[in-house]
Amino acid sequence: MARFRSLLVVVAAVLVLLLQSAPTATAEDSLYHVCEGSNYTANSSFHSNLRTLLASLSASNSAFSTGTVGSSNQAFGLVLCRGDVASNNCKTCIKAASKNITQLCVQSRQAIVWYDHCQLRYSDVRFFSSNNGSLGIMVNNNNSTDPDTFASAVKELMGKVADRAAHNSSSLLFATGMMKYRSDLPTIYGLAQCTRDLSADVCSQCLQGILDIYGNSTYARIGGRLLGYSCNFRYEAYTFFAGDPTISLERTISPSPSPSPSPSPLLSPPPPPPLIASNKSHPPTAETEGQSGKGNKKDIGKVLTIAAAIGLALVITL
Protein backbone atom coordinates (compact mmCIF):
# COMPACT_ATOMS: atom_id res chain seq x y z
CA MET A 1 0.00 0.00 0.00
CA ALA A 2 2.71 2.40 0.99
CA ARG A 3 4.65 1.61 -2.15
CA PHE A 4 1.56 2.13 -4.21
CA ARG A 5 0.95 5.55 -2.75
CA SER A 6 4.49 6.66 -3.41
CA LEU A 7 3.97 5.64 -7.01
CA LEU A 8 1.25 8.18 -7.39
CA VAL A 9 2.84 10.95 -5.41
CA VAL A 10 6.38 11.00 -6.67
CA VAL A 11 5.79 12.05 -10.21
CA ALA A 12 9.15 13.68 -10.29
CA ALA A 13 11.84 14.52 -12.76
CA VAL A 14 9.90 15.04 -15.90
CA LEU A 15 12.24 15.01 -18.83
CA VAL A 16 11.09 16.27 -22.16
CA LEU A 17 12.97 14.73 -25.00
CA LEU A 18 12.51 14.75 -28.69
CA LEU A 19 12.29 11.35 -30.14
CA GLN A 20 15.09 10.62 -32.52
CA SER A 21 14.02 12.08 -35.79
CA ALA A 22 14.95 9.72 -38.51
CA PRO A 23 14.30 10.64 -42.11
CA THR A 24 13.42 7.12 -43.07
CA ALA A 25 11.98 5.39 -40.09
CA THR A 26 11.77 1.65 -40.22
CA ALA A 27 10.42 -0.93 -37.85
CA GLU A 28 13.94 -1.24 -36.49
CA ASP A 29 14.15 2.27 -35.11
CA SER A 30 13.84 2.59 -31.40
CA LEU A 31 10.75 4.20 -29.93
CA TYR A 32 12.59 5.67 -27.02
CA HIS A 33 15.57 5.18 -24.76
CA VAL A 34 16.83 6.34 -21.38
CA CYS A 35 20.48 6.53 -20.28
CA GLU A 36 21.10 6.51 -16.55
CA GLY A 37 23.77 6.14 -13.92
CA SER A 38 27.28 7.48 -14.05
CA ASN A 39 29.66 6.82 -16.93
CA TYR A 40 31.94 3.84 -17.01
CA THR A 41 35.55 4.14 -18.11
CA ALA A 42 36.46 2.82 -21.54
CA ASN A 43 38.08 -0.61 -21.35
CA SER A 44 37.31 -0.96 -17.65
CA SER A 45 36.22 -4.34 -16.35
CA PHE A 46 32.60 -3.14 -16.35
CA HIS A 47 32.93 -2.19 -20.00
CA SER A 48 34.28 -5.60 -20.82
CA ASN A 49 31.53 -7.31 -18.83
CA LEU A 50 28.93 -5.19 -20.61
CA ARG A 51 30.33 -6.12 -23.99
CA THR A 52 30.14 -9.80 -23.13
CA LEU A 53 26.65 -9.35 -21.77
CA LEU A 54 25.34 -7.59 -24.87
CA ALA A 55 26.94 -10.17 -27.13
CA SER A 56 25.27 -12.96 -25.24
CA LEU A 57 21.87 -11.25 -25.15
CA SER A 58 22.22 -10.52 -28.84
CA ALA A 59 22.74 -14.19 -29.57
CA SER A 60 19.64 -15.17 -27.64
CA ASN A 61 17.08 -17.27 -29.44
CA SER A 62 14.47 -16.70 -26.83
CA ALA A 63 11.76 -14.09 -26.47
CA PHE A 64 12.99 -13.44 -22.98
CA SER A 65 16.42 -13.73 -21.46
CA THR A 66 18.50 -12.25 -18.71
CA GLY A 67 22.24 -12.27 -18.22
CA THR A 68 24.77 -11.54 -15.50
CA VAL A 69 28.43 -11.17 -16.41
CA GLY A 70 31.48 -10.78 -14.18
CA SER A 71 32.33 -11.49 -10.58
CA SER A 72 33.07 -7.89 -9.75
CA ASN A 73 31.85 -4.85 -11.68
CA GLN A 74 29.02 -7.04 -12.85
CA ALA A 75 26.74 -6.19 -15.75
CA PHE A 76 23.10 -7.29 -15.60
CA GLY A 77 20.88 -7.36 -18.66
CA LEU A 78 17.43 -8.33 -19.86
CA VAL A 79 15.75 -8.59 -23.24
CA LEU A 80 12.08 -9.14 -23.89
CA CYS A 81 10.13 -9.40 -27.12
CA ARG A 82 6.48 -8.48 -27.34
CA GLY A 83 4.53 -11.64 -26.72
CA ASP A 84 2.99 -11.87 -30.18
CA VAL A 85 6.12 -11.20 -32.23
CA ALA A 86 7.40 -13.99 -34.48
CA SER A 87 10.78 -15.37 -33.50
CA ASN A 88 12.64 -14.05 -36.54
CA ASN A 89 11.38 -10.51 -35.90
CA CYS A 90 12.19 -10.95 -32.26
CA LYS A 91 15.78 -11.91 -33.04
CA THR A 92 16.19 -9.03 -35.47
CA CYS A 93 14.93 -6.62 -32.87
CA ILE A 94 17.16 -7.96 -30.10
CA LYS A 95 20.19 -7.75 -32.36
CA ALA A 96 19.44 -4.14 -33.29
CA ALA A 97 18.84 -3.22 -29.66
CA SER A 98 22.10 -4.84 -28.46
CA LYS A 99 24.05 -3.09 -31.16
CA ASN A 100 22.40 0.30 -30.83
CA ILE A 101 22.17 0.69 -27.10
CA THR A 102 25.83 1.53 -26.67
CA GLN A 103 25.50 4.19 -29.35
CA LEU A 104 22.29 5.60 -27.93
CA CYS A 105 23.75 5.62 -24.42
CA VAL A 106 27.49 6.15 -24.77
CA GLN A 107 29.30 4.81 -21.70
CA SER A 108 26.22 4.79 -19.47
CA ARG A 109 26.29 2.31 -16.62
CA GLN A 110 22.49 1.87 -16.94
CA ALA A 111 20.30 2.08 -20.01
CA ILE A 112 17.04 0.92 -21.52
CA VAL A 113 15.77 1.04 -25.09
CA TRP A 114 12.30 0.22 -26.34
CA TYR A 115 11.42 -0.89 -29.84
CA ASP A 116 8.06 -1.82 -31.16
CA HIS A 117 9.00 -5.50 -31.04
CA CYS A 118 11.35 -5.70 -28.09
CA GLN A 119 13.07 -3.93 -25.24
CA LEU A 120 16.55 -4.21 -23.79
CA ARG A 121 17.80 -3.04 -20.44
CA TYR A 122 21.16 -3.30 -18.73
CA SER A 123 22.52 -2.02 -15.45
CA ASP A 124 25.44 -2.21 -13.07
CA VAL A 125 22.90 -2.99 -10.34
CA ARG A 126 20.95 -6.23 -10.18
CA PHE A 127 17.35 -5.38 -11.07
CA PHE A 128 15.73 -8.74 -11.78
CA SER A 129 12.39 -9.63 -10.20
CA SER A 130 11.64 -6.15 -8.94
CA ASN A 131 9.22 -3.59 -10.25
CA ASN A 132 10.91 -0.41 -11.38
CA GLY A 133 8.23 2.25 -11.66
CA SER A 134 9.99 4.39 -14.28
CA LEU A 135 8.23 4.78 -17.57
CA GLY A 136 7.57 6.80 -20.68
CA ILE A 137 4.19 7.54 -22.22
CA MET A 138 3.26 8.02 -25.86
CA VAL A 139 -0.22 9.14 -26.79
CA ASN A 140 -2.17 9.95 -29.87
CA ASN A 141 -2.92 13.68 -29.95
CA ASN A 142 -6.51 13.09 -30.94
CA ASN A 143 -9.25 12.61 -28.43
CA SER A 144 -12.22 10.37 -28.92
CA THR A 145 -15.36 12.04 -30.15
CA ASP A 146 -17.01 10.76 -26.99
CA PRO A 147 -14.16 11.00 -24.53
CA ASP A 148 -15.93 9.80 -21.39
CA THR A 149 -17.40 6.68 -22.96
CA PHE A 150 -14.19 5.89 -24.75
CA ALA A 151 -12.05 6.42 -21.66
CA SER A 152 -14.17 4.16 -19.52
CA ALA A 153 -14.21 1.48 -22.20
CA VAL A 154 -10.43 1.60 -22.55
CA LYS A 155 -10.01 1.45 -18.80
CA GLU A 156 -12.25 -1.56 -18.51
CA LEU A 157 -10.53 -3.38 -21.35
CA MET A 158 -7.01 -2.60 -20.18
CA GLY A 159 -7.80 -3.55 -16.60
CA LYS A 160 -8.94 -6.96 -17.77
CA VAL A 161 -6.08 -7.45 -20.18
CA ALA A 162 -3.60 -6.49 -17.45
CA ASP A 163 -5.21 -8.88 -15.03
CA ARG A 164 -5.08 -11.69 -17.54
CA ALA A 165 -1.45 -10.95 -18.38
CA ALA A 166 -0.43 -11.09 -14.74
CA HIS A 167 -2.49 -13.98 -13.48
CA ASN A 168 -3.52 -16.21 -16.32
CA SER A 169 -0.97 -16.34 -19.07
CA SER A 170 1.09 -19.44 -18.22
CA SER A 171 3.85 -17.26 -16.81
CA LEU A 172 4.36 -15.48 -20.13
CA LEU A 173 2.94 -12.36 -18.51
CA PHE A 174 1.39 -11.22 -21.76
CA ALA A 175 -2.18 -10.78 -22.93
CA THR A 176 -4.16 -8.99 -25.62
CA GLY A 177 -7.79 -8.03 -25.89
CA MET A 178 -10.44 -6.34 -27.95
CA MET A 179 -13.61 -4.55 -27.02
CA LYS A 180 -16.63 -3.62 -29.07
CA TYR A 181 -18.57 -1.23 -26.95
CA ARG A 182 -20.75 0.89 -29.16
CA SER A 183 -21.76 0.60 -32.77
CA ASP A 184 -20.78 4.15 -33.69
CA LEU A 185 -17.35 4.03 -32.08
CA PRO A 186 -14.31 2.00 -33.09
CA THR A 187 -13.39 -1.36 -31.59
CA ILE A 188 -10.50 -0.98 -29.17
CA TYR A 189 -7.50 -3.31 -29.18
CA GLY A 190 -5.18 -3.59 -26.20
CA LEU A 191 -2.03 -5.36 -25.07
CA ALA A 192 -0.28 -5.66 -21.71
CA GLN A 193 3.00 -7.31 -20.81
CA CYS A 194 5.48 -7.63 -17.96
CA THR A 195 9.09 -8.73 -18.08
CA ARG A 196 9.11 -12.43 -17.31
CA ASP A 197 11.40 -12.17 -14.31
CA LEU A 198 8.47 -10.80 -12.30
CA SER A 199 6.11 -12.87 -10.20
CA ALA A 200 2.41 -12.67 -11.03
CA ASP A 201 1.82 -10.38 -8.07
CA VAL A 202 4.66 -8.01 -8.89
CA CYS A 203 3.52 -7.96 -12.52
CA SER A 204 0.01 -7.13 -11.44
CA GLN A 205 1.30 -4.38 -9.17
CA CYS A 206 3.38 -2.95 -12.03
CA LEU A 207 0.51 -2.94 -14.51
CA GLN A 208 -1.96 -1.57 -12.01
CA GLY A 209 0.48 1.19 -11.21
CA ILE A 210 0.95 2.26 -14.82
CA LEU A 211 -2.76 2.00 -15.61
CA ASP A 212 -3.49 4.40 -12.76
CA ILE A 213 -0.74 6.77 -13.76
CA TYR A 214 -2.06 6.97 -17.30
CA GLY A 215 -4.97 9.05 -16.00
CA ASN A 216 -8.57 9.69 -16.95
CA SER A 217 -8.05 12.40 -19.54
CA THR A 218 -5.31 10.40 -21.19
CA TYR A 219 -7.63 7.43 -21.62
CA ALA A 220 -9.74 9.63 -23.90
CA ARG A 221 -6.92 9.69 -26.43
CA ILE A 222 -7.68 7.35 -29.28
CA GLY A 223 -4.42 5.49 -28.85
CA GLY A 224 -1.57 5.30 -26.41
CA ARG A 225 1.31 3.32 -25.05
CA LEU A 226 3.04 3.26 -21.78
CA LEU A 227 6.62 2.06 -21.92
CA GLY A 228 7.62 0.86 -18.47
CA TYR A 229 10.91 -0.65 -17.35
CA SER A 230 9.12 -3.67 -15.92
CA CYS A 231 5.79 -3.67 -17.71
CA ASN A 232 4.04 -1.93 -20.58
CA PHE A 233 0.71 -1.53 -22.26
CA ARG A 234 -0.69 -0.22 -25.51
CA TYR A 235 -4.13 0.30 -26.96
CA GLU A 236 -5.32 1.51 -30.35
CA ALA A 237 -8.53 1.79 -32.29
CA TYR A 238 -7.13 -0.66 -34.84
CA THR A 239 -5.44 -4.05 -34.69
CA PHE A 240 -1.73 -3.89 -34.01
CA PHE A 241 -0.93 -7.30 -32.54
CA ALA A 242 -0.77 -10.68 -34.20
CA GLY A 243 -3.09 -13.52 -33.41
CA ASP A 244 -6.45 -13.72 -31.77
CA PRO A 245 -7.02 -11.52 -28.77
CA THR A 246 -6.79 -13.33 -25.45
CA ILE A 247 -9.93 -11.56 -24.33
CA SER A 248 -12.94 -10.40 -26.34
CA LEU A 249 -15.47 -8.13 -24.73
CA GLU A 250 -18.69 -6.84 -26.11
CA ARG A 251 -20.82 -4.12 -24.57
CA THR A 252 -24.00 -2.61 -25.83
CA ILE A 253 -23.99 0.94 -24.68
CA SER A 254 -26.44 3.08 -26.58
CA PRO A 255 -24.91 6.06 -28.34
CA SER A 256 -25.11 9.26 -26.33
CA PRO A 257 -27.84 11.63 -27.61
CA SER A 258 -25.47 14.33 -28.82
CA PRO A 259 -21.96 13.09 -29.29
CA SER A 260 -19.83 16.20 -29.26
CA PRO A 261 -17.41 16.41 -32.15
CA SER A 262 -15.02 18.56 -30.16
CA PRO A 263 -13.82 17.03 -26.92
CA SER A 264 -15.71 18.24 -23.92
CA PRO A 265 -13.78 19.05 -20.79
CA LEU A 266 -12.95 15.88 -18.94
CA LEU A 267 -12.62 15.00 -15.35
CA SER A 268 -9.77 17.06 -14.10
CA PRO A 269 -6.53 15.23 -14.64
CA PRO A 270 -4.38 14.00 -11.77
CA PRO A 271 -0.82 15.31 -11.50
CA PRO A 272 0.11 16.73 -14.89
CA PRO A 273 -0.18 13.80 -17.24
CA PRO A 274 3.22 12.97 -18.59
CA LEU A 275 2.79 12.70 -22.31
CA ILE A 276 4.66 11.81 -25.32
CA ALA A 277 2.54 13.58 -27.82
CA SER A 278 2.47 11.74 -31.06
CA ASN A 279 -0.52 11.91 -33.26
CA LYS A 280 -0.50 8.66 -34.87
CA SER A 281 -0.68 7.88 -38.45
CA HIS A 282 -3.84 6.99 -40.11
CA PRO A 283 -7.23 5.45 -39.78
CA PRO A 284 -7.32 1.80 -38.99
CA THR A 285 -6.79 -0.43 -41.91
CA ALA A 286 -9.34 -3.14 -41.85
CA GLU A 287 -7.33 -6.10 -40.83
CA THR A 288 -8.69 -9.27 -39.47
CA GLU A 289 -7.54 -10.97 -36.36
CA GLY A 290 -4.83 -13.47 -36.80
CA GLN A 291 -3.49 -11.96 -39.99
CA SER A 292 -0.36 -10.63 -38.50
CA GLY A 293 1.63 -10.29 -41.63
CA LYS A 294 2.36 -7.44 -43.91
CA GLY A 295 -0.48 -5.12 -43.07
CA ASN A 296 0.65 -4.76 -39.50
CA LYS A 297 4.18 -4.07 -40.51
CA LYS A 298 3.15 -1.25 -42.77
CA ASP A 299 1.08 0.08 -39.98
CA ILE A 300 3.96 0.09 -37.57
CA GLY A 301 6.16 1.83 -40.07
CA LYS A 302 3.74 4.69 -40.40
CA VAL A 303 3.22 5.01 -36.71
CA LEU A 304 6.93 5.25 -36.17
CA THR A 305 7.42 7.73 -38.94
CA ILE A 306 5.01 10.11 -37.38
CA ALA A 307 6.23 9.51 -33.88
CA ALA A 308 9.71 10.24 -35.05
CA ALA A 309 8.71 13.38 -36.88
CA ILE A 310 6.69 15.10 -34.21
CA GLY A 311 6.76 13.03 -31.08
CA LEU A 312 7.58 14.39 -27.68
CA ALA A 313 8.54 12.10 -24.88
CA LEU A 314 8.32 12.55 -21.19
CA VAL A 315 9.71 10.16 -18.70
CA ILE A 316 8.64 10.13 -15.14
CA THR A 317 10.69 8.53 -12.47
CA LEU A 318 8.80 6.94 -9.65
Ligand X SMILES: *[C@@H]1O[C@H](CO)[C@@H](O)[C@H](O)[C@H]1NC(C)=O
Residues that bind ligand X (CB under 6 A): 20, 26, 28-30, 36, 38-39, 42-43, 96, 99-100, 106-107, 110, 123, 132-134, 140-143, 152, 168, 216-217, 229, 263, 266-267, 270, 279-281, 306
Cβ nearer to ligand X, comparing 39 with 171 = 39
Burial code (b: 16+ CB inside 10 Å, e: under 16) for 140-157 equals beebbbbbbbbbbbbbbb
What is the DSSP track for 65-124?
Answer: EEEEE-SSS-EEEEEEE-TT--HHHHHHHHHHHHHHHHHHSTTEEEEEEE-SSEEEEEES
Cβ nearer to ligand X, comparing 29 with 146 = 29
Least distance CB 149 / ligand X (angstroms):
10
Least distance CB 184 / ligand X (angstroms):
16
Residue at 112: amino acid letter: I
Least distance CB 219 / ligand X (angstroms):
8
Least distance CB 235 / ligand X (angstroms):
14
Residue 170 has a CB neighbour count (10 Å cut-off) of: 6
Cβ nearer to ligand X, comparing 86 with 312 = 312
What is residue 233's three-state secondary structure? strand
The C-alpha atoms of residue 129 and residue 127 are separated, in whole angstroms, by 7
Least distance CB 152 / ligand X (angstroms):
5
- Give the number of residues written for the chain: 318
The C-alpha atoms of residue 140 and residue 182 are separated, in whole angstroms, by 21
Least distance CB 72 / ligand X (angstroms):
19
What is the DSSP track for 250-275?
Answer: E--PPPPSS--SSPPP-SPPSS----
